Structure 1
Amino acid sequence: MEFRCVHCGSEVKTLFVQYSPGNIRLMKCDNCKAVADEYIECEITIVLIDLILHKRKAYRHVLYNVLNRNTVDAEMMMEVLLGNFAFFGVLLLMKRLFMKSFSQVTSNKDIFLAILVSSYFKLFVMAMMVWEFPASVLFIIDIFVLSSNAMALTVLQQATMTGGIGMCLGAHAAKVVANHTLEFLLVRVL
């Protein structure tokens, strides 16, 4: 795997040498003579803050020195993309099928925007990087996101709450099925 210096972007052979568990020495870049990646010793929240501040060093750390583009992270990206594609695909299909019951025709762009805006509860997942929460919190956040999505669709389509909930549950079910299918296929391939 190719590592990069977070300061100058030059390739480095290794980022650190581990002498024993918890005892490492950070390596220096041959080009700029600075420590190649000091973020290795930082908490994830520091990296996240620097990403929010658009620090080039933080982006180099994440893109070159953290993400293994060949295995796990590529699978994660595929899962996210396939899941969201299934979610929006089914949502738009249901809009087309049940449009007769809606009093207003809404563009696909409006639906994408409504889902994006109403998914604000996903911001609470970022708090999980700072404080420890049980895994059940993810389920609760998912329920809040779905109910918020249903309300946004209900308002946008001037439909009943039942119609909005039905569309969101159907789209979410398609997303879950797509993600589980992808996981099953990847396990069989790997």
Structure 2
Amino acid sequence: MIIFIDLILHRPKVYRHVLSNAINPETVNIQHLLWKLVFAYLLLDSYRSLLLRRVDNKSSFYESSFLICLKVLISVLSANAAFILSFAIAAKCLLNEVSRRRDIMLGILISSYFKIFLLAMLVWEFPMSVIFIVDILILTSNTMALEVMTESSTTRCIAVCLIAHLVRFLVGQILEPTTFLTQLGSLVHLSSLFRIA
């Protein structure tokens, strides 16, 4: 439990501990772990996309559930493919990391553990701004993991992760334009909450 709290607080020593133990080829089958993480990542990302679609009531009346699932699947796969490609290009250009690509992608998948918090929306009703907060936490966690794994400067790691997440967001908006309006409305609602507090 203490390790999980330290991960939420973004402590570099804990990230170093978790990532070095998870990516140790002597104790873990890395290929097996990579496929499990990819499956969990895509599943949680699909759930995120469905949560954002739930707000758009018009689509649920006119489209069948099969068509909605197909659209979500295509959107999630293409957005994540763009994320991986842009992350690899940005890491090569800004960090000169070419040799440990698989380890770095595994670290990015592990550091995206904040997506698990979306499952709380199955039980409790949260505003859609929670999805925006989870996205920011994933971005900062990915930056910390990249900084720990590559030992590069913080600004370069922030730039790499920001570029990759921005490309992923833009590709997602091209395929799902109503999602942008939903997230913009959530952001406006979140800023009004901060103003009230």
TM tier relative to shorter chain:
0.5 to 0.7
Cα distance, 1:99 vs. partner?
A: 3.2
Q: TM-score, normalised by structure 1?
A: 0.56
Report whether the alignment pairs 1:116 with 2:112: no
| Aligned equivalents of 1:106, 1:80: Cα separation in 2 | 27
Q: Gaps (5+ residues) in structure 2? A: 1-63, 178-197
| Aligned equivalents of 1:106, 1:124: Cα separation in 2 | 32
Spell out, residue by residue over 1:38-67, the C-alpha distance to the aligned partner (whole angstroms, 9 max, x if none). Answer: xxxxxxxxxxxxxxxxxxxxxxxxxxxxx9
Equivalent runs, 1:77-156 vs 2, <5 Å: 77-100=73-96, 106-156=99-149
| Aligned equivalents of 2:95, 2:109: Cα separation in 1 | 21
**Which runs of at least 4 in structure 1 moved beyond 3 Å after TM superposition?**
none
| Aligned equivalents of 2:116, 2:125: Cα separation in 1 | 15
| Aligned equivalents of 1:68, 1:132: Cα separation in 2 | 23
Q: How big is the alpha-carbon RMSD for the aligned residues of Structure 1 and Structure 2?
A: 1.6
Higher Cα Rg: structure 1 or 2?
A: 1
| Contact 2:118–2:131, Cα closer than 8 Å, also in 1 | yes
Cα distance, 1:125 vs. partner?
A: 0.3
Cα distance, 1:76 vs. partner?
A: 0.3
| Aligned equivalents of 2:169, 2:92: Cα separation in 1 | 21
- Secondary structure of the 2:86 match is helix
Cα distance, 1:106 vs. partner?
A: 4.3
Question: What amino acid is aligned across from residue 122 of structure 2 in structure 1?
Answer: M
Percentage of identical aligned residues:
39
* Larger RCO, structure (CA 8 Å, separation 6 or more): 2
| Aligned equivalents of 2:161, 2:95: Cα separation in 1 | 15
Name the one with the larger helix percent: 2
Paired residues in the alignment total 114
Name the one with the larger strand percent: 1
| Aligned equivalents of 2:142, 2:130: Cα separation in 1 | 18
